[in-house]
Amino acid sequence: MSSPLVSILIPAYRSSWLDVALESALAQTHKNIEIIVGDDAPNDAVQQVLAHVSDPGIRYIRNPRRGQPWLESRHADSAGRGDYIKFLFDDDYLLPRSVEILLYACLEFDARLAFHNRHAVDSNGNLLASPTCIVGGGYAEIAPDVYFSQIIKNAHNPIGEPSNILIHTTTLRAMPFPFAIGGRRMRFLTDVALYTNFAASGHSLVGAAEFGSAFRQHSQQTSGRGYPGFSAGLYEWELLRRWAAENQLLSSGDYFFGEHQQMQLYQRFVGQYPELQGFIDLQGLPLQGHFMSNRFREALNLADCTIAIRMLAKS
């Protein structure tokens, strides 16, 4: 019986480290893979990198939805032919056993989503940190209730970024909006939304203690404090907690556990991002018995619009 085909999807916008990402994908110990590069660059920089890489296992696709992140479009996962999908961002890279480690976790534990530990490196590849989610060696299962009572409650993502996971393709494609919460697009926490949707569907997440990837931190990232949509990285955690509480996936006590810290973050950044004031005014309270109240949705809409305008002004 042949081993499962794994589709490594590389949404490519920058060319700076794309060659490293490609080399790391080609160097995987699990060889039954295909590599798909989705080009969302505003120029031909990605094509120029690929011109120097000759491998029949690489497919090139120009993103037909310009301006829409390739990771979030249904075009992305529909391009993969594998039983499993492995995302790899253009500035990250995989260690040689990444796919092997994650595929073992999926097959051994019948997991629909698996992840491993990862390193954080700088623009030159120098090690910055090695945050550890799974300790003690081997593999650990995070049941859905534990996911909500620990990760969502604490507003902390120990699983890591999309480059750090492997997903069962059929399960992903069965979700109409896997990178959204309640059908609402996420501007910042798309990875956490994906994990949340898997847990909400009753799927345990399986983590491996071995390190299998590297997340690059650099000035070109869209996750720094200077990014126009940085505030969404704050209020989308409140959205996740409210949505989970509204759907009885998070207890009221666990929801309110993180409110003090949430308000502190809002107060810290409201001067730079005034759209946070709408959430401060709500004080994290449910209205008329609903965590996903109309007033909270109005604050979300205003904040999202403010970010959209800010991003247009910067472009």
- 254-295 pLDDT tens trace: 999 988 899 999 999 999 999 999 999 999 999 888 999 999
174 and 39 inside one domain: yes
Which amino acid belongs to residue 203? H
252 and 194 inside one domain: no
- 235-265 pLDDT tens trace: 999 999 999 999 999 999 999 998 889 999 9
Question: Quick one: which of 211, 240, 219, 232 has its CA closest to 308?
Answer: 232
Question: Quick one: which of 138, 140, 166, 131 has its CA closest to 25?
Answer: 166
Which amino acid belongs to residue 313? A
Q: Is residue 64 part of a domain?
A: yes
90 and 46 inside one domain: yes
- 131-179 pLDDT tens trace: 888 888 899 999 999 999 999 999 999 999 999 999 999 999 999 899 9
Q: What is the DSSP letter of 229?
A: T
Using a pLDDT cut of 90, give the percent of the chain over it.
69
When divided into structural domains, the chain yields a total of 2
Average pLDDT over all residues of the chain:
90
191 and 82 inside one domain: yes
Identify the residue with better confidence: 15 or 151: 151
The helix (H) or strand (E) run that includes residue 145 is helix 144-146
Q: What is the dihedral of CA 36, 41, 44, 48, to 10 degrees?
A: -50
264 and 142 inside one domain: no
Under a CB-based contact definition with an 8 Å cutoff, are residues 159 and 151 in contact?
A: yes
Burial (0-12, 13-18, 19+ Cβ within 10 Å), 225? exposed
CA 129 to each of CA 48, 119, 120, 235: distance values in angstroms, whole numbers, following the listed order:
32, 6, 5, 26
pLDDT band per the 50, 70, 90 thresholds, residue 4: confident
Q: So what's the pLDDT on residue 47?
A: 85
Residue whose tokens read 């249904």: 74
Residue 70 Ramachandran class (φ > 0 left, ψ -120 to 50 alpha, else beta)? alpha
User: Taking 50 as the threshold, does the pLDDT of residue 1 lie above it?
Assistant: no
237 and 183 inside one domain: no
Under a CB-based contact definition with an 8 Å cutoff, are residues 69 and 41 in contact?
A: no
Q: Is residue 176 part of a domain?
A: yes
User: Taking 80 as the threshold, does the pLDDT of residue 73 lie above it?
Assistant: no
Which amino acid belongs to residue 7? S
Structure tokens given for 241: 């907690």
Q: Is residue 225 part of a domain?
A: no
Question: Quick one: which of 267, 97, 288, 85 has its CA closest to 167?
Answer: 85
CATH (domain of 179): 3.90.550.10
41 and 173 inside one domain: yes
Under a CB-based contact definition with an 8 Å cutoff, are residues 107 and 84 in contact?
A: no
Average pLDDT, integer, range 122-131: 92
Q: Angle, to 10 degrees, between the axis of helix 294-314 and the axis of helix 232-246?
A: 150
Average pLDDT, integer, range 91-96: 96
**Domain edge (last residue) among 216, 241, 258:** 216
Under a CB-based contact definition with an 8 Å cutoff, are residues 224 and 299 in contact?
A: no
Q: So what's the pLDDT on residue 181?
A: 95
Residues spanned by the domain of 259: 232-314
